[in-house]
Amino acid sequence: MSIVEGEVYDPKVENRDKYKRIANNVWWIILTQGVVVLLVGLFILLEPAFSATFVAQIAGIYLIVTNTLSLLQWVLGITRHDANANRSLLVTVLGLIIGIVIALVPSVIAQLVAQFIFLFVGIGLVLYGVFHLIQASMSRYVDSDSSRNFILGIVWLIVGLLVMVAPIVTTRIILAVLGVAGVGAGAGFIYFAFYLRRLGREIVRQIDVEIEREAMETELDRVPVSVPLRPTPEG
């Protein structure tokens, strides 16, 4: 305890207030995040097809809003005289058209985009697996890791072919993994929120007990100690 600018400063009181804020305010923010993540994870697990459509629809609405604002800036003359105004206008119109198409048929767009992405991902994984197989065959007599490279090459090759041949199955697997991860992360956030609340309140209680004990000791120190008088010898 010290005196700062005429006021008594006690670090224990400051720590108590800090942990009290954590116990009363911070925990529910983490709790809200956990509930949202948990609900999103459950939604992906229960409605995987609708989840992809929903994401595509959100992307379409985002493109519509952002490109509409850009087009409005061009119409009002804010960006009409820029150096790349014509090119920016073309990109804006194309983005607006793409956004409208995605928002109108999100399920079809989501399926096409998924197939397009998985095609390139599958090709990359196949090439990666072939690279591992070539590396394993070239170093099988001089490198002890050749067997590991061979196994990795086979695994990546199979995964790449699976991604290209069955993109829908791969999408469901990925969504299932994301859903499970979301549920686990949400449950972890919720547990941590209540743990943080309980821990903060326990620390506040301990600090209050210590402050009360120090206050009692201070009051006892202020009590005058009476010294018994020595008896005077009788004359």
Could you tell me the residue ranges of all domains in the chain? 9-47+106-214
Query: pLDDT-based confidence at 2, cuts 50/70/90?
Result: very low
Q: Which two tokens stand for residue 29?
A: 């923010």
CA distance 158 to 164: 10
**Could you tell me which residues come within 8 angstroms of residue 187 by beta carbon, excluding any fewer than 6 positions away?**
34, 38
The yes-or-no verdict on residue 229 having pLDDT over 60 is no
Q: pLDDT by residue (tens digit) across 134-184?
A: 877 776 655 566 777 788 888 888 888 887 887 777 777 877 888 899 899
For range 96-110, the mean pLDDT: 78
Tell me, what's the pLDDT at 5? Answer: 47
AA letter at 208: D
Q: Model-level pTM?
A: 0.51
> Phi and psi of 234, rounded to 5°?
-75, 135
The better pLDDT of the pair 226, 20 is held by: 20
Q: Which residues pair with 2 in a beta bridge?
A: 9
For position 208, what pLDDT does the model report? 73
DSSP β-bridge partners for residue 9: 2
> What is the total residue count of the chain?
235
pLDDT value, residue 8:
47
Q: Is it the case that residue 3 has pLDDT exceeding 50?
A: no
How far is residue 119's CA from residue 195's CA, in Å, rounded to a whole number?
A: 45
- The pLDDT of 121-144, averaged and rounded, is 76
- Whose structure tokens read 């960006």? 79
Q: For the chain, what percent of residues have pLDDT higher than 70?
A: 70
Highest mean pLDDT out of 48-57, 158-167, 185-194 = 185-194
What is the pLDDT at residue 4?
44
**DSSP letter (8 states) at residue 10:** -
